[in-house]
Structure 1
Amino acid sequence: MKRLTNLALKYKLYPILMFIVSTFLAVTVVVQNISIAEILNTMLKHRNQDLVLLLLFTLAILIGRATLNTINQLIGNKMAGRVKQDLRRQIISKRAKEPIGAQISTLTESVDGIVPFFNSYFPQVFKSMMIPVMIIIAMCFVHLNTALIMLVTAPFIPVFYIIFGLKTRDESKDKMMYLNQFSQQFLNKIKGLITLKLFNRTAVTEEALYRESTTFRDLTMKILRSAFLSGLMLEFISMLGIGLVALEAGLGLILFHSIDFKTAAIAIILAPEFYNAIKDLGQSFHTGKQSEGASDVIFALLDQKEQEVHSERKYDKHQAALIALKQVYFKYDDATTDTVKDVSLEIEQGEKIALIGQSGAGKSTLAQLIAQNYKPYSGSVTYQNQDLNIGFLSQSPYIFNASIRDNITMFYNIDEVSIYRVLDDVGLKEKISELPKGLDTWIGEGGEMLSGGQMRRIELSRVLLMQPEVLIFDEPATGLDVETEQIMQRVIETRFANATIITIAHRAYTINSADKLINIENGCLKRDTHVLHDNPNKGSEVR
Structure 2
Amino acid sequence: MKNLSRYIRKYISYPILMAIVCALLAIIVVVQNITIAKVLDIMLTKAHSILTLPVILGILLGVLILRALLNMTNQLLGTQLAYKVKTHLRERAIAKNSHQPIGEQMSVITESIDGIAPFYQDYLPQVFKAVMIPIFIILAMCFIHLNTALIMMVTAPFIPVFYILFGLKTRDESKDQMTYLTQFSQRFLNIAQGLITLKLFNRSKQAETTIYNESTRFRDKTMKILRSAFMSGLMLEFISLLGIGLVALEAGLGLVLFHNVNFQTAAIAIILAPEFYNSIKDLGQAFHTGKQSEGAADVVFDMLDAETDTARPTDIAVNPAQSAQIRLDHVSYQYPHAERLAVNDVSLDIRQGDHIALVGPSGAGKTTLSQLILQMREPSQGTVFFNKKNLKLGILSQQPYIFNASIRDNVTMFQEVPDADIMKVIAAVGLTDKINALPQGLETAIGEGGEMLSGGQMRRIELSRVLLDRPEVVVFDEPATGLDVWTERVIQTALKDYFGERTVIMIAHRQSTIRSADRRIYMEQGRITADDQVISIGMHKGREKE
TM-score normalised by the chain length of structure 2 = 0.80
Q: Contact 2:81–2:121 at 8 Å: present in 1 too?
A: yes
Give the SS at the match of 1:103: helix
Q: Is the 8 A contact 2:322 2:387 kept in 1?
A: no
Corresponding residue number in structure 2 for 1:94:
96
Q: For residues 156 and 513 of structure 1, do their structure 2 counterparts lie closer, same or farther at Cα, with a shift above 3 Å needed?
A: same
Name the structure 2 match of 1:461.
464
Q: Structure 2: how far apart are the matches of 1:322 and 1:39? A: 89
| Number of the residue aligned with 1:39 | 39
* Greater alpha carbon shift after TM alignment, 78-87 vs 471-480: 471-480
Residues 434-462 of structure 1, C-alpha deviation per residue, up to 9 Å, x if partnerless?
Answer: 45765556655676665554333222111
Please, which of 147, 152, 155 is the counterpart of residue 153 of structure 1? 155
Q: Which residue of 1 aligns with 2:414?
A: 411
Q: Distance in 2 between matches of 1:514 and 1:330?
A: 24
Please say if residues 355 and 517 of structure 1, whose CA atoms lie closer than 8 Å, have aligned partners that are also in contact: yes
Letter in 2 for 1:258: N
Shift of 1:17: 1.6
Amino acid aligned to 2:466:
V
Specify the alignment match of 2:228 in structure 1: 226
Is 1:297 matched up with 2:299? yes
TM-superposed deviation, 1:353:
5.0
> Mind listing any 5+ residue stretches in structure 2 that lack a counterpart?
539-546
Structure 2 letter corresponding to 1:120: D
Judge which range, 422-431 or 180-189, deviates more.
180-189
Aligned to 1:174: 176
Tell me how far apart the structure 2 counterparts of residues 504 and 206 of structure 1 sit (CA, whole Å).
31
2:270 paired residue number: 268
Aligned: 1:247 with 2:249:
yes
Deviation at 1:65, TM superposition (A): 0.4
Mapped contact 1:328–1:379 kept (Cα < 8 A):
yes
CA-CA distance at 1:148 after TM superposition: 2.2
Q: How far apart are residue 290 of structure 1 and its match?
A: 1.3
Shift of 1:209: 3.9
For 1:368, the equivalent position in structure 2 comes to 374
Q: Deviations over 1:187-231 (max 9, x none)?
A: 444445555556665555555444333332222222111111111
Q: Residues 328 and 340 of structure 1 are in contact (CA less than 8 Å); yes or no, is this contact kept in structure 2?
A: no
Map 1:27-426 onto structure 2 (within 5 A).
27-43=27-43, 44-47=45-48, 50-193=52-195, 205-304=207-306, 306=308, 309=311, 311=313, 351-354=353-356, 359-360=364-365, 363-364=369-370, 367-368=373-374, 381=386, 383=388, 390-414=393-417, 416-426=419-429
Tell me if the contact between 1:328 and 1:381 (Cα under 8 Å) persists in the aligned partners: no
- Distance in 1, Cα, partners of 2:482 & 2:33: 65
- The CA distance in 1 between the partners of 2:384 and 2:197, in whole Å, is 38
CA distance in 2, matches of 1:518, 1:195: 22
Q: Which moved more, 1:273-282 or 1:289-298?
A: 289-298
Question: 1:373/1:58 Cα in 2 relative to 1: closer, same or farther (>3 Å)?
Answer: farther
Question: What's 2:10 paired with?
Answer: 10
Root mean square deviation, CA, Å: 4.3
CA distance in 2, matches of 1:185, 1:344: 31
Cα distance, 1:166 vs. partner? 0.6
Cα 1:42–1:450 change in 2 (3 A) is closer
- The answer for the alignment partner of 2:543 in structure 1 is none
Check conservation: 1:324, 1:344, Cα contact below 8 A. Answer: no
1:233 CA displacement: 1.1
* 1:313–1:372 CA contact under 8 A, matched in 2: no
Structure 1 residue 119: Cα displacement? 1.0
Between 218-227 and 430-439, report the one with greater CA deviation.
Answer: 430-439
SS across alignment from 2:313:
coil
- Alpha-carbon separation, structure 2, partners of 1:211 and 1:527: 43
2:485 corresponding residue in structure 1: 482
Structure 1 range deviating more: 435-444 or 219-228:
435-444
CA 171–408 in structure 1, closer or farther in 2 if over 3 Å, else same: same
Structure 2 match to 1:430 = 433
C-alpha distance in 2 between matches for 1:34 and 1:276? 17
Structure 1 position 32, deviation (Å): 1.0
Q: For 1:208 and 1:389, how far apart are their aligned partners in 2?
A: 37
Letter in 1 for 2:214: E
Give percent identity, aligned residues only: 55
Counterparts of 1:106 and 1:72, CA distance in 2: 28
Change (3 A) 1:455 1:526: same
8 Å Cα contact 2:247/2:273 also seen in 1: yes
- Kept after mapping to 2: 8 A contact 1:121/1:285: yes
Q: Report the Cα distance in structure 2 between the residues aligned to 1:168 and 1:7, rounded to whole angstroms.
A: 22
| Matches of 2:65 and 2:284, distance apart in 1 | 26
User: 1:457-477 CA distances to partner (integer Å, 9 max, x unpaired)?
Assistant: 222111222244554545645
Secondary structure at 1:304 match in 2: coil
Which blocks of at least 5 consecutive residues in structure 1 are unaligned?
536-543
Q: Deviations over 1:333-360 (max 9, x none)?
A: 9899998999897966xx3453768854
1:473–1:501 contact (8 Å) kept in structure 2: no
Q: Distance in 2 between matches of 1:93 and 1:365?
A: 19
Q: Is the 8 A contact 1:475 1:503 kept in 2?
A: no
The one-letter amino acid of 1:256's match is: F
Structure 1 residue 23 corresponds to structure 2 residue 23? yes
Q: 1:124 to 1:195 in 2, by over 3 A?
A: same
Shift of 1:242: 1.9
Between stretches 101-110 and 302-311, larger displacement belongs to 302-311
Partner residue of 2:497 out of 467, 481, 494: 494
Of the structure 1 ranges 523-532 and 146-155, higher mean CA displacement relative to structure 2 is found in 523-532
- Displacement of 1:332 in angstroms is 7.0
Shift of 1:84: 2.0
Measured in 2, the distance between the counterparts of 1:278 and 1:506 equals 60
Distance of 1:57 and 1:152 partners within structure 2: 33
C-alpha contact 2:171 2:295 (8 A) present in aligned 1:
yes
Paired letter, 1:485: E
Q: Deviations over 1:227-279 (max 9, x none)?
A: 11111111121122222222333333334333333322222222211111111
CA distance in 2, matches of 1:75, 1:278: 20
Decide which moves more: 397-406 or 281-290: 397-406
| Gap change, CA 1:7 and 1:333, over 3 Å in 2 | farther
Residues 264-312 of structure 1 show CA distances to partners (whole Å, capped at 9, x for unaligned) of 2222222211111111101100111112222222222223354765527
SS at 1:400 equivalent:
coil
Give the C-alpha shift of residue 525 in structure 1: 11
Q: Secondary structure at the match of 1:503?
A: strand
Question: Cα distance 1:320–1:473, how it changes in 2: closer, same or farther (>3 A)?
Answer: farther
Distance 1:492 1:321, change over 3 A: farther
Question: TM-score with structure 1 length normalisation?
Answer: 0.81
SS of 2:402's equivalent?
Answer: coil
Amino acid at match of 2:297: S
